[in-house]
């Protein structure tokens, strides 16, 4: 085998090399441009390109950046946001071989760079089938990653009409010199197929035998030329305009942003691919078996070219790592269901016979290796002089002692002082300090924070309790009839008269109409969280009505470990695709702070972004049907409806939004270009798109407890440490940490919160007497939700003094008074 006389690359490199008269490969020759090009001029050229796309999309975003928890994602995002000041939409195809390090890195990236983000996860069971198929067909466990990573950003660019995609390094130029930097080669479908996907396109992998259908492969279908041209999509590589030095770039990202590194199995490079369980393990070993060289040669070659390693030092690294058996192989074999002997049997068919042969014992051995070419002719003549040492850092882990022994499908989406682990919370630490926190808060509750309180048209003057349940007339929009029965109880009685079989037949007819109407795309969209009702909604639409479901989650910034686990179970056990949308933290926090101060409603941002983000996703994907859960006004009583309706198109007008739009909160942070997912489509947009939005509760008798029982069968976790303060249920609203105090503020305004709501659920569904509910409400309602108190303060950047002054302004003096120095309701439930 011929090897480059300067680096370590062999002539059988799959991206193809050429050699000059001195035996130097094309990759080394093109790399020399890094030391002779005027990078300041090239940077100015990049600036001109980027400036021409600023706000060009009309969708608030200037460009798209594909990101993950490893590689060059931090550096690319740093350059675009911090140096060129663009507003990118970050996108991720979830490769599903995630490490905890990668999960933390991605969450940290979203936090520190303060960008909106879309993360696409495919049904893990389909991915498993696909990997088995691609491995058997062409010995690749990585085809879906390459295809998804290079397709999803382009699909988003077309759907969102964002014409510019910014990639990092052009690997084919950097490795083998396929192009000069001056060619300014861009990302194309042709290059993607021929070089990244080994000539195998999505349509080539359809297999009836392995259960890979045309509908399954839609996530890997590259947009048509006319779609690309209509939007004007182009993908540029930063490495054509910035001198690329991955090691130094990573070290800068470590210093500036806390990028985590990790020891890798089969290479000395601790910076790259730390997000993938197999990249530097089994995947790299497959490459070695095919071509007789591996990732360590890639990394050493780069360091030789950058004059941080001699060729001889690189060869020592090859000796150390290239034939090392990866310890992660059993994990892949167990996950994929491929037996060990079959794994090697499939691989043997793809060994490059130019470098491999069998010995007399029938064992595969290398015919040659770069190890045998230390003193080749011209090696000394073309040698680069080493100018610095090559040392890679291993940073301290945010979770010391945590094992990397299995894939993490999805984890945390945001990191702060108290929420920094990939999946788990420090719940025991919270519980340990809970008594102390409660004693501290009890003193603050009784402190004099001023007498002024904010009134509006919804402020109740009294409390009258329903004679059937324990709900109060102080709930905005709730009416009591002449018999003293509330609207919610009246609705419960009306539900008993509904012919639910007929309603289900109506829904079936609707599903029959829309099933398959979107070509090979999704039949319906279901909004999800980490709660019980999400699982029920997805289960109904997928298992009962046989719809192709896209689940969409607007990611809570402070997820609980149970919420993360439940979202994982929903995708894994119900076999659906999921889009997670993470919102720019600075804007989300600013809206929450503002609505907390002005409305006493910190969760307004959560509700507005959920309703708007779900609708916008349906519009982008042309999904004909959105399936929400219950109409809260009908099920629980409220201002917007006394009449049961199927349509949820006007969900943005419900009691949670308070007739406000994000425009009401615009300021120096909350700007039009930063609030795309807070803007609900206009009526004319709905009419034009012909998308239908419905409440599942109109067609099915809504029963949260039954949903909980069903969800448990699919892996739903209730709160491990039992009920939160003020709660009687350990499975209600458990997916995030900021909601409890939001709900508690309702207690100050209207005299009821969680215990009243939850007891009413049980009364309405015949599982609790009013007498028992009275005892529970009176025992629990004065408890403060202390568990996530510190999280609330930290997230909003407010002090205790600020919190209590704001909260006290919403304590309704019409229904509250002080008794022996303690706040008590004037109206006693009895």
DSSP letter string, 662-694: GGGG-SSSS-GGG-GGG-PPPHHHHHHHT-EEE
Please give the residue that has the higher pLDDT: either 535 or 451: 535
Same domain, 375 and 520: no
Please state, in angstroms and rounded to a whole number, the distance separating the CA atoms of residues 14 and 442: 68
Q: H or E element: which one contains 627? A: strand 625-628
Confidence band (pLDDT; 50, 70, 90) for 58? low
Phi, psi of 618 (to 5 degrees): -60, -40
Domain span holding position 312: 1-36+262-390
Q: Which of 573, 532, 563, 535 is nearest to 551 (CA)?
A: 535
Q: Give the H or E element holding residue 512.
A: helix 500-514
User: Comparing C-alpha atoms, which of 670, 652, 665, 661 is closest to residue 598?
Assistant: 665
pLDDT value of position 738: 96
Strands 625-628 and 822-825: unpaired
Q: Domain ends where: 353, 374, 409?
A: 409
Long-range contacts of 768-775 (CB under 8 A, 24+ apart): 770/468, 770/469, 770/470, 773/469, 773/470, 774/470, 774/829, 774/830
Contact assessment for residue 316 and residue 299, using Cβ atoms and an 8 Å cutoff: no
Instruction: Confirm if 538 and 551 have CB atoms less than 8 A apart.
Output: yes
What pLDDT sits at residue 658?
A: 83
Q: Are residues 507 and 656 in the same domain?
A: yes
The CATH number covering residue 511 comes to 3.40.50.620
167: enclosing H helix or E strand: strand 164-167
Residue with tokens 């896209």: 550
CA distances to 371, 460, 620, 747 from 813, in Å:
83, 10, 47, 12
Tokens at 387, concatenated: 């100018």
- Mean pLDDT, to the nearest integer, of 209-238? 95
DSSP characters over 525-542: EEE--SSHHHHHHHHIII
Residue closest to 785 by CA, chosen among 725, 727, 723: 725
Q: How far is CA 308 from CA 299, 313, 544, in A?
A: 11, 10, 61
Residue 339's contacts (CB-CB under 8 Å, 6 or more residues apart) are 333
516, part of any domain:
yes
Based on the fold, state whether residues 644 and 587 are members of the same structural domain.
yes
Classify residue 419: in a domain, yes or no: no
Q: Are residues 353 and 498 in the same domain?
A: no
Residues 221 and 350 in one domain: no
The torsion defined by the Cα of 648, 695, 588 and 595, in degrees rounded to 10, comes to 70
Q: What angle do CA 589, 590, 595 make, to 5 degrees?
A: 100
For residue 450, name the pLDDT band (cuts at 50, 70, 90).
confident
| Cα distance between residue 126 and residue 83, in whole Å | 40
How far apart are the C-alpha atoms of 220 and 714, rounded to whole Å?
28
Nearest to 288 by CA among 225, 351, 200, 230: 351
621 sits in which H/E element = helix 604-621
Please tell me the total count of domains within the chain: 4
C-alpha angle 236-242-243 in degrees, rounded to nearest 5:
130
Cα separation, 191 vs 171, whole angstroms: 11
Residue 350 pLDDT exceeds 70: yes
Give percent of the chain with pLDDT exceeding 90: 90
Query: What is the spatial distance between Cα 466 and Cα 468, in angstroms, rounded to a whole number?
Result: 6
666, burial (CB in 10 Å: exposed 0-12, middle 13-18, buried 19+): middle
| One domain for residues 504 and 615 | yes
Distances (CA, A) of 280 to 269, 350, 389, 392: 9, 20, 23, 15
Give yes or no: residues 129 and 158 share one domain.
yes
Contacts of residue 798, defined as CB under 8 A and 6 or more positions apart, other chains included, come to 593, 806
**Mean of all residue pLDDT scores within the chain:** 95
202 in Cβ contact with 212 (< 8 Å): no
pTM across the whole model = 0.96
Instruction: Give the list of residues 6+ apart from residue 194 with CB closer than 8 angstroms, or none.
Output: none
Token pair belonging to 420: 């920094």
In this prediction, residue 640 has a pLDDT band, given cuts at 50, 70 and 90, of: very low
Nearest to 611 by CA among 570, 548, 658: 658
Coil vs helix vs strand at 153: helix
- SS3 of residue 119 by DSSP: strand
Q: What angle do CA 617, 622, 628 make, to 5 degrees?
A: 55
Give the least confident one: 249-258, 534-543, 680-689.
Answer: 680-689
Cβ pair 555, 121 in contact under 8 A: no
Looking at 361, 390, 419, the residue that finishes a domain is 390
Are residues 537 and 601 both part of a single domain? yes
Tell me what the mean pLDDT of segment 164-181 comes to. 96
A 10 A CB-CB count for 340 gives 10
57 pLDDT tier (thresholds 50, 70, 90): low
Return the bridge partners of 823, or none: 818
What residues contact residue 11 under an 8 Å CB cut-off, 6+ apart?
A: 1, 2, 3, 17, 19
The answer to whether residue 421 sits within a structural domain is no
Asked if residue 483 is part of any domain, the answer here is no
Both structure tokens of 196: 């990244």
Q: Report DSSP state, residue 92.
A: E
Whether 741 is covered by a domain: the verdict is yes
- Residue keyed to tokens 């949308």: 581
Q: What digits encode the pLDDT tens for the residues 521-562? A: 899 999 999 999 999 999 999 999 999 999 999 999 999 999
Residue 555 is predicted with a pLDDT of: 96
Task: State residue 312 phi and psi, 5-degree precision.
Answer: -65, -40
Residue 225 lies in a domain: yes
Do residues 741 and 785 touch, judged by C-beta distance below 8 A? yes
Give a yes or no: residue 614 inside a domain. Answer: yes
* Sequence-distant (≥ 6) Cβ neighbours of residue 187 within 8 angstroms: 150, 154, 165, 167, 234, 235, 236, 237
Same structural domain, 148 and 207: yes
Residue 316: which pLDDT band, with cuts at 50, 70 and 90? Answer: very high
Percent helix, percent strand, percent coil in the chain, to nearest 5: 45, 10, 45
* Sequence-distant (≥ 6) Cβ neighbours of residue 544 within 8 angstroms: none
Residues 6 or more apart whose Cβ sits within 8 Å of residue 815: 460, 462, 463, 474, 750, 751, 825, 826, 827
Over 60: is that where the pLDDT of 641 sits?
A: no
Q: What is the pLDDT of residue 803?
A: 97
**Could you tell me the end-to-end alpha-carbon distance of the chain, in angstroms, rounded to an integer?**
90
Inter-CA distances, 523 with 626, 688, 796, Å: 9, 18, 38
The SS3 assignment for 359 reads coil
Q: Torsions phi, psi of 486, nearest 5?
A: -80, 160
Q: Are residues 704 and 766 in the same domain?
A: no
DSSP alpha helices (H): ranges in 622-737? Answer: 632-636, 683-689, 704-713
* Nearest-angstrom CA–CA distance, 155 and 146: 14
Domain presence at residue 417? no
Q: Taking 70 as the threshold, does the pLDDT of residue 348 lie above it?
A: yes
Per-residue pLDDT at 428 exceeds 80: no
Q: What is the pLDDT of residue 432?
A: 78
Q: Are residues 212 and 292 in the same domain?
A: no
Could you tell me how many residues make up the chain? Answer: 830
Least confident segment among 1-5, 206-210, 647-651, 712-716:
206-210
In contact, 294 and 352? CB cutoff 8 Å: no
DSSP 372: G
d(CA 615, CA 828) in angstroms, rounded, equals 42
Which value, in Å, is the radius of gyration of the alpha carbons in the chain?
30
| pLDDT above 70 coverage of the chain, percent | 99
Q: Are residues 760 and 677 in the same domain?
A: no
Tell the burial category of 660 from Cβ atoms under 10 Å away from its Cβ (0-12, 13-18, 19+): middle
Q: Are 109 and 74 in contact (CB under 8 A)?
A: yes
The first and second tokens of residue 96, run together, are 């599903």
Examine the fold and report which residue of 682, 708, 734 is the final residue of a domain before the chain moves on: 708
């Amino acid at each position: 085998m011929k090897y480059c006389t300067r680096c370590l690359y062999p002539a059988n490199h799959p991206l193809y090399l050429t050699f000059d008269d001195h035996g130097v490969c094309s990759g080394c020759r093109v790399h020399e441009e890094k030391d002779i090009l005027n990078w300041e001029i090239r940077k100015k050229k990049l600036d001109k390109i980027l400036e021409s796309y600023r706000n060009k999309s009309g969708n608030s975003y200037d460009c798209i950046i594909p990101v993950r928890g490893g590689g060059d994602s931090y550096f690319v995002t740093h350059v675009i946001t911090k140096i060129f000041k663009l507003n990118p939409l970050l996108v991720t195809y979830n490769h599903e071989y995630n490490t905890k390090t990668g999960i933390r890195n991605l969450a940290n990236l979203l936090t520190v760079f303060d960008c909106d983000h879309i993360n696409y996860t495919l049904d893990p069971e389909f991915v498993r089938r696909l990997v088995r198929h691609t491995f058997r067909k062409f010995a690749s466990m990585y085809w879906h990653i390459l295809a998804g990573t290079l397709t999803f950003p382009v699909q988003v660019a077309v759907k969102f009409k964002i014409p510019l995609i910014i990639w990092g390094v052009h690997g084919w130029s950097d490795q083998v010199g396929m192009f000069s930097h001056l060619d300014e080669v861009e990302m194309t479908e042709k290059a993607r197929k021929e070089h990244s996907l080994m000539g195998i396109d999505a349509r080539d992998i359809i297999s009836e035998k392995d259960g890979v259908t045309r509908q399954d492969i839609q996530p890997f279908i590259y947009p048509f030329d006319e779609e690309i041209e209509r939007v004007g999509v182009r993908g540029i590589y930063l490495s054509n305009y910035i001198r690329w030095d991955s090691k130094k770039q990573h070290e800068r990202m470590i210093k500036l942003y806390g990028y985590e590194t990790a020891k890798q199995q089969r290479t000395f490079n601790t910076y790259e691919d730390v997000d993938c369980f197999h990249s530097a393990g089994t995947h790299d070993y497959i490459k070695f078996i095919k071509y007789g060289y591996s990732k360590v040669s890639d990394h050493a070659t780069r360091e030789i070219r950058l004059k941080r390693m001699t060729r001889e030092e690189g060869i020592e690294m090859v000796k150390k790592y290239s034939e090392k058996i990866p310890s992660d192989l059993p994990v892949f074999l167990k996950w994929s269901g491929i037996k060990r002997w079959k794994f090697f049997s499939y691989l043997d068919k793809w060994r490059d016979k130019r470098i491999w042969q069998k010995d007399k014992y029938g064992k595969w051995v290398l015919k040659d290796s770069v190890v045998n070419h230390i003193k080749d002719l011209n090696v000394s003549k073309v040698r680069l002089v080493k100018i610095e040492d090559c040392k890679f850092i291993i940073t301290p882990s945010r979770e010391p002692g945590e094992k990397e022994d299995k894939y993490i499908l999805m984890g945390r989406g945001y990191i702060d002082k108290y929420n920094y682990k990939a999946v788990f919370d420090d719940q025991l630490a919270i519980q340990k300090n809970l008594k102390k926190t409660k004693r501290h808060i009890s003193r603050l509750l009784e402190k004099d924070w001023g007498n002024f309180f904010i009134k509006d048209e919804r402020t109740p003057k009294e409390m009258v309790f329903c004679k059937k349940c324990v709900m109060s007339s102080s709930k905005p929009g709730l009416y009591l009839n002449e018999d003293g029965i509330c609207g919610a109880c009246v609705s419960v009685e009306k539900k008993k008269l509904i012919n639910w079989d007929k309603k289900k037949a109506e829904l079936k007819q609707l599903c029959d109409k829309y099933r398959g109407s979107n070509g090979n795309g999704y039949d319906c969209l279901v909004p999800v969280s980490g709660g019980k009702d999400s699982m029920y909604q997805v289960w109904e639409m997928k298992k009962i009505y046989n719809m192709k479901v896209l689940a969409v989650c607007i990611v809570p910034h402070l997820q609980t470990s149970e919420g993360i686990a439940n979202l994982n179970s929903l995708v894994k056990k119900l076999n659906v695709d999921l889009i997670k949308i993470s919102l720019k933290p600075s804007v989300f926090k600013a809206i929450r702070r503002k609505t907390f101060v002005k409305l006493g409603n910190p969760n307004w941002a959560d509700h507005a972004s959920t309703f708007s983000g779900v609708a916008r996703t349906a519009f982008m994907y042309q999904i004909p049907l959105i399936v929400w859960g219950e109409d809260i006004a009908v099920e629980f009583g409220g201002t917007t409806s006394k009449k049961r309706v199927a349509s949820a198109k006007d969900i943005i007008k419900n009691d949670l939004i308070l007739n406000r739009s994000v425009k009401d909160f615009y300021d120096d942070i909350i700007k039009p270009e930063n609030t795309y997912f807070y803007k609900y489509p206009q009526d004319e947009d709905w009419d034009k798109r012909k998308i239908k939005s419905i409440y599942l509760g109109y067609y099915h008798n809504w029963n949260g407890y039954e949903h909980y029982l069903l969800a448990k069968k699919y892996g739903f976790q209730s709160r491990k440490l039992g009920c939160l303060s003020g709660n009687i249920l350990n499975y209600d609203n458990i997916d995030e940490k900021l909601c409890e105090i939001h709900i508690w503020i309702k207690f100050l305004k209207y005299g009821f919160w969680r215990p009243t709501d939850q007891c009413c659920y049980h009364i309405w569904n015949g599982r609790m007497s009013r007498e028992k509910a009275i005892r529970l409400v009176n025992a629990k309602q004065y408890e403060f939700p202390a568990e996530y108190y510190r999280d609330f303060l930290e997230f909003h950047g407010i002090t205790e003094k600020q919190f209590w002054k704001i909260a006290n302004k919403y304590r309704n003096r019409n229904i509250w008074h002080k008794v022996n120095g303690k706040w008590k309701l004037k109206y006693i439930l009895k």
